[in-house]
Amino acid sequence: MQQLYAQACAVIAGGVNSPARAFHAVGGTPIFMHRASGAYMWDVTGTRYIDYIAGYGPTILGHGHPAITAAITDAAHTGVLFGTPHVHEISFAHLLREAIPSMDIVRITSTGTEAVMSAIRLARTATTRRTIVKCSGCYHGHADSVLASAGSGVASVGIEHTAPDVISVPFNDTEAFVRALSAHKEDIAAVIVEPIVGNFGIVPPQPGYMELLRTGTKDIGALLLFDEVISAFRFHWGGAQTYWDVSVIPDITILGKIIGGGLPIGAYGGHADLMALVAPCGPMYQAGTHAANPLSVQAGIACVHALRDASLYTHMSVLAALLADGIVSRAQHYGIPVTVQRVGGAFSVHFCSHPITNFEDAKKVDKKKFAAFFHGLLSRGIAIAPSMYEAWFVSAAHTHEDVARTLDAIDAIWRSW
């Protein structure tokens, strides 16, 4: 691995094409994968890993799912880039609107970052205001306007950013949100939030918080943007906005990752009057040669159709619960302070004894213990993201045997501490 990493560093900035793949936060040399199938990945040496990275979420059906593979193969034969409209993008937009009714009209992009950039530009156009309110630690892509206190990959490499016209408030802090709106109500174009945070662990909103964001934005004439790049289709068929008993409907919903079945894609949408501001109908310009790329769209259709099967979500939730509960019980047995938070088939593990409700909570953890834990898992054939802020993702391809092997590995690690 060291030789490959040296070769990569000679021709690729930092030796990786995304900082999230570096081992900056945990030390050591990144591993290079050769292939993947189902719930497993194999590195260039042939070592197999149980994969809980899941491409940071999108391989929810597992690697090489037959329906997605067939869709990609068909697209490869019929055309991967036209530079014109194609029929599959219409079918896909209908499918997304069916799953997330608040998306009256959809615009498909190449990535989640592009979708966030476009949604913010749309909010600024609609309101003629500039200021954006975001929650500390939520990522929202790598555009300049949202890198302030961005958590996840940014925090893992120790970088702090500020951005003009951006106000960061702690997630779940109602008083901070009310103060921000009161102080800047004439300038705020939009509030952007992950309805279930996935970028400093899995952190659900506290009761009443999302409702406050909705009423607060309406009161000052601002828009509410839901970044569902991680949460949409992860916990059930549709968005987090329809997952809870009390639904809060945003003005703009932003999608990515999972809706491409593992291929690059993003989307944003809202009610028809708002989306009428997007070019060519309106003055808000957004474009992309690879937007609604046929390869990604056909893979996305196959993935979203497959996820209609509710039993897949039950399966992932059951396995994630077994893993999360098993981790907690073993931590208690060995006297190791651990907080595990789970929603459906995703969970996070923090080496601390306090609950994680916001980014500041997530930063007050034992980084050395996480690094040791990460390498202990990796050496035993378990792959998680090399960041204490990232979630574990259970896919539909994982099995009870995978869970048992993972818990055995964790037991062996903590027994040796």
Map residue 409 onto helix, strand or coil.
helix
What is the reported pLDDT for 152? 52
Question: Within 10 A of 175 (CB to CB), how many other CB atoms are there?
Answer: 9
Q: Do 109 and 22 share a structural domain?
A: no
Q: Do 181 and 79 share a structural domain?
A: yes
What is the reported pLDDT for 143? 64
Would you tell me the crossing angle of helices 87-99 and 294-306 to the nearest 10 degrees?
A: 40
For the record, the structure tokens of 14 come out as 């930092």
Q: Do 237 and 111 share a structural domain?
A: yes
Q: Do 109 and 40 share a structural domain?
A: no
What is the reported pLDDT for 157? 47
Q: Do 213 and 95 share a structural domain?
A: yes
Give the model confidence (pLDDT) of 159-217 as tens digits.
555 567 999 999 999 999 999 999 999 999 999 999 999 999 999 999 999 999 999 99
If we measure between CA atoms, which residue out of 231, 232, 283, 222 comes closest to residue 99?
232
Stretches where the chain sits below pLDDT 50 are: 150-151, 155-157
CATH number at residue 251: 3.40.640.10
Q: Which of 291, 306, 321 is the last residue of a domain?
A: 306
Residues 32, 43: contact at Cβ < 8 Å?
A: yes
- The H or E element containing residue 178 is helix 174-184
What is the reported pLDDT for 239? 92
What is the reported pLDDT for 19? 87
Q: Do 83 and 37 share a structural domain?
A: no
Q: What is the set of active-site residues?
A: 139, 227, 257
Q: Do 251 and 149 share a structural domain?
A: yes
Q: Which of 255, 271, 306 is the last residue of a domain?
A: 306
Number of domains in the chain: 2
Give the model confidence (pLDDT) of 79-91 as tens digits.
999 999 999 999 9
Query: Which range of residues forms the domain containing residue 40?
Result: 2-64+310-415
Q: Side chain identity at 124, as an amino acid letter?
A: R
What is the reported pLDDT for 2? 87
**Predicted TM-score of the model (pTM):** 0.93
CATH number at residue 47: 3.90.1150.10
